[in-house]
Structure formats: C-alpha cells, structure tokens
Copies of this chain bind each other. A is one copy, B any other.
Amino acid sequence: MLTLVSEALDPAAAEIVDPLEQQVIDFFVDGTRVLGLPRSIGEIYGLLFISPSPLSLDDLVARLDISKGSASQGLRTLKTLGAIREAQNHGQRRTYYQPATDLKRLAGGFIKEQIRPHLESGRTKLDRLNASAESITDPGRREFARERIDKLETWVRKSSRILPALQKLLGS
C-alpha cells in the first residue's frame, strides 16, 4: 500500500479538499446548475480548475468522494464538451486531466453539444408543423396558425444566428 508515500510526494493527491478548493468547487457546482448539468460535473471541473497539477480519475474519486462510475461518466461528458483535455503522461499508463480554460472554447463546446441539437430538432418540428397547418380547414384558424408558426421560425433562425456571435463576444 503506497498511498501514504505518494501523498507525501505529491500534495495534489491529498485525499481531502482544502477550503479554497471547496469554494471553487461550489462556484462551479452553481455554474453547472445554470447550465443544466449534474453536480458531479461541476465538482470535477472545479477541482481540476484549481489544481496546479493534473489529476487522474482515482484522484477525483478520492478527493471528491464520488464513485468511479460518476467520475468516469463525468470525465467523458467534460471531454465531449471540450472542457478538459488529457495531460502529457510521460510514459505513465494512468491518464491525467487538465481543464480547458478558454471561455470561448468552453462556450463553443457547450453550444455545439447542448444547444445546437435542440435547434435542429426544432427545425424538424417546424417542418411537421407547417404540414399540419396546411390541412386546417377553417381559413381564419389556419391563418392564425401560420402567423404563429412563422414567428417560431423567426425565433429559431435568430437563435441560430446568435450563437456564433455570442461565442465571438466571449472571445474578446
């Protein structure tokens, strides 16, 4: 059992979080809440964010007191979002993670993974809506439905146009 030795050598492997770390974690837990992501993801990203050296899955499990399953899934989601990357692991088998800290890039990943799919499904739904509207018999009702569906199309179009602009703004 080498735990004590490795802890002594590497402070980053301490099996608790200090007060500062806890505060940063809380900051990000609140952030993931707004974004509709699970708490564990905020915890993982938060700890990586404030850690001077990269951390492994087992580090996260030990220090955040979460299960391997949670850590594994959380890391996968963060990778998909482009919010973390693997650190250079010199010959080591174990992989270590570092946070991406470029806000523009982070926003880009979130938009791509969490927003765009909904906009696309929205467009599909609008196609079907247009078809349904055509088969309304009452002319007044049909006209009203058209107007509202047109409005929805405008909304979706505007939202799509805004995402890149938004990302651009975050990069400056």
Which residues on A are within 8 Å of B, measured CB to CB? 19-20, 23-24, 26-27, 30-31, 33-34, 36, 49-50, 52, 101, 103, 114-115, 118, 121-122, 125-126, 128-129, 132-133, 136, 140-141, 144-145, 148, 151-152, 154-155, 158-159, 162, 165-166, 169-170
Q: When the two chains form their complex, are residues A144 and B30 in contact, meaning their CB atoms are under 8 A apart?
A: no
Contact of A34 among B118, B155, B158 (CB under 8 A): B118
Q: Which residues of B contact A154 (CB under 8 A)?
A: 103
Q: When the two chains form their complex, are residues B27 and A118 in contact, meaning their CB atoms are under 8 A apart?
A: no
Q: Look across to chain B and name the residue whose beta carbon is closest to the beta carbon of A132.
A: B20
Counting every copy of the chain, the complex holds 2
Contact of A23 among B101, B128, B140, B166 (CB under 8 A): B128
Q: Which residues of B contact A34 (CB under 8 A)?
A: 36, 114-115, 118
Q: Which residues of B contact A31 (CB under 8 A)?
A: 118, 122
Contact of A24 among B24, B26, B121, B148 (CB under 8 A): B148
Q: Which residues of B contact A128 (CB under 8 A)?
A: 23
Q: When the two chains form their complex, are residues B23 and A103 in contact, meaning their CB atoms are under 8 A apart?
A: no
Q: When the two chains form their complex, are residues A158 and B145 in contact, meaning their CB atoms are under 8 A apart?
A: no
